Amino acid sequence: MPSDCIPFRDTNYFSSLICDYLEQKEVLHPFYNRFPDLENFEAQIEEKKQSFTLETRKVLVEALQQQYKDVTTTEATLQHIESLEDSNTFTIVTGHQLNLFTGPLYFLYKIISTINLTKILKEKYSDHNFVPIYWMATEDHDFDEINYFNLFGKKVQWNRHDGGAVGVFDTEGLDKVFKVFADMIGSSRNAETLKAMFKKAYLEHDTLTAATRYLANELFGTYGLVIIDGDDHKLKRLFIPYVEKEIVSQTSHTHVLPKANELQSTGYKVQVNPREINLFYLAEGLRERIIEEEGRYHVNDTDISWDKEELIKHLHQAPEKFSPNVMMRPLYQEVILPNLCYIGGGGELAYWLELKEYFKAVEVIFPMLLLRNSVLIQTEKQAEKIKKLNVSDTELFLKQHELINRKVRQISNIDINFDPQRKYLKEQFEAMYTVAEQTDVTFGNAVKAQEIKQLKGLDVLEKRLLKAQRRKLSDHVKRLTSIQNELFPNQSLQERNKNFSELYLEYGEELIPVLINTLNPLKGEFTILKLP
């Protein structure tokens, strides 16, 4: 399939932190272990191999086999699970919330980046096995972030009572969502496939976790994807020593806060600030912060409390009740998985970059961090319109008013750019400043005021002329606006808005194979993909 790439920085949709990371700016070197170049994986493999025990592997495999016992999956996935007991097997991980029907498109891109990286690594390091992992955020409690997906510019939403970790939510009420969805997509062959997928996932499974596992397995089981639920007694037991350190010594706060402050002092925005204790307590319908006050530990907004000894005893008896927050979840992941690399979006990598010293303090290997693939998909018809409008790939990503102004200037038969006049005006006022200084220095302020007034007048005149030209070229502007709105819904990236079902209606079961065959997770650029 024809595709082009542009640097992430040129899209203007990614933070300076992420762009500087991709460009390996020296100022960020202290915040990560190894950059994800293919050659760097050799050292990462050896480092992880030395630290990851066979006992942990055995527990991991037992937990995954238990999680998959009622799941019909592929031989590729089952073999991957079994292979995790082998000391030469390593994982590549991405994580995502349990968004309704996958949520925005980038859910696909995260998992495809993960699958494709394992393929690349197998070709390079053939003596090792590499398993793609999707970490389900089953313990998340931000229901408002996951209870909908966008379809044809409209929100398809699941309304139900909120409370506690979302993974254990029952699927009551999703029959109503299914009816809305089914009515919207029609009755084509691909529509019927989507309906069956939705129905089996959400109307034939009891919990949101089970439904999400079914759906991800249905989409990616062919490629051996292993789906893991961290809300697991066996796996949480492996994490007890780190939770105990957090309770007793507030380890994450002690080591993350200085790095967060260091990032901020370097001029970057801090994604997440650590709390004193970065743990939640789980109970039925409850996921609330654990807070320490005067030697006692409380569950926020409840009557539940313990002294230190009682809490540690409870931790050892019921580790599944303790849930890491965004600061500790990465550590939990790396403790229980033989992982080499985490693949995520810009926001995720931003908070991972705060964590290196924390990992070092608790003696866990810090993984490599890779920005997931980002994609803008165009149909052939859209690509042809763009070509006729003479819009480049980079120009497509401009803010709409900037794009319109630029193209109006390009196609206008008069040059509506007053930069030469501004330059001339400033030169004239430089001479006037000299005269003012030679006569009376107090005249300088009057000259300055007049300069500002004249320049502002030029700005106003330029805008008025541009507006007049836009009216004159209204047909071109309409077509320009229309195509950009199609590709950037709500003036944002397509991948952050559209649901995969819109593309599936058009391309059916060929959609994922095309993406698998096109996307290179190590390329480090934004992909523009033209589909027939």
pLDDT at 217 over 60: yes
Amino acid symbol at 385:
K
E strand segments, 232-389: 279-283, 286-293, 296-299, 305-307, 322-324, 339-344, 368-371, 375-379
Query: SS in 3 state form for 2-45?
Result: CEEEECHHHHCCCCHHHHHHHCCCHHHHHHCCCCCCHHHHHHHH
The stretch 359-385 carries a mean pLDDT of 97
Over residues 142-151, the pLDDT tens digits come to: 999 999 999 9
3-state secondary structure of 169: coil
pLDDT at residue 162, as a whole number: 83
pTM of model > 0.75: yes
The stretch 13-38 carries a mean pLDDT of 97
Confidence of residue 288 (pLDDT cuts 50, 70, 90): very high
Q: Who's near 269: CB < 8 A, 6+ residues apart?
A: 15, 17, 350
pLDDT at residue 413, as a whole number: 58
Over residues 466-518, the pLDDT tens digits come to: 777 667 677 888 999 999 999 999 999 999 999 999 999 999 999 999 999 99
Structure tokens at 86: 């082998």
3-state secondary structure of 64: helix
Over residues 411-450, the pLDDT tens digits come to: 775 566 778 888 878 888 887 887 777 777 677 788 788 8
Higher per-residue pLDDT: 362 or 456 = 362
What mean pLDDT value characterizes the chain? 94
The stretch 179-208 carries a mean pLDDT of 98
What distance in Å separates the CA atoms of residue 247 and residue 281, rounded to the nearest whole number? 12
Amino acid symbol at 358:
Y
Structure tokens at 105: 């498109």
Over residues 308-319, the pLDDT tens digits come to: 999 999 999 999
pLDDT at residue 416, as a whole number: 66
pLDDT at residue 5, as a whole number: 95
| N residues, the chain | 532
pLDDT at 194 over 80: yes
Lay out the sheet containing 526-531: strands in order across.
3-6, 526-531, 375-379
C-beta separation of 121 from 40 below 8 A: no
C-beta separation of 216 from 227 below 8 A: yes
Q: Who's near 336: CB < 8 A, 6+ residues apart?
A: 56, 59, 60, 230, 235, 238, 239
pLDDT at residue 467, as a whole number: 78
C-beta separation of 391 from 308 below 8 A: no
Alpha-carbon Rg of the chain, whole angstroms? 27
Q: Which fold has domain 10-239+325-374?
A: Rossmann fold (3.40.50)
pLDDT at residue 336, as a whole number: 98
Extents of the domains making up the chain: 10-239+325-374
Structure tokens at 292: 């320490």
Structure tokens at 60: 């991991």
Q: Which DSSP string do the residues of 307-340 spell out, in sequence order?
A: EHHHHHHHHHH-GGGEEE-TTTHHHHHHHHS-EE
pLDDT at 173 over 60: yes
pLDDT at 71 over 70: yes
pLDDT at residue 441, as a whole number: 65
pLDDT at residue 3, as a whole number: 81
Q: Who's near 176: CB < 8 A, 6+ residues apart?
A: none
What distance in Å separates the CA atoms of residue 299 and residue 281, rounded to the nearest whole number? 7
C-beta separation of 277 from 370 below 8 A: no
What pairs with residue 379 in β-bridges?
A: 531
User: Which contiguous run of DSSP H or E holds residue 62?
Assistant: helix 54-67
pLDDT at residue 414, as a whole number: 57
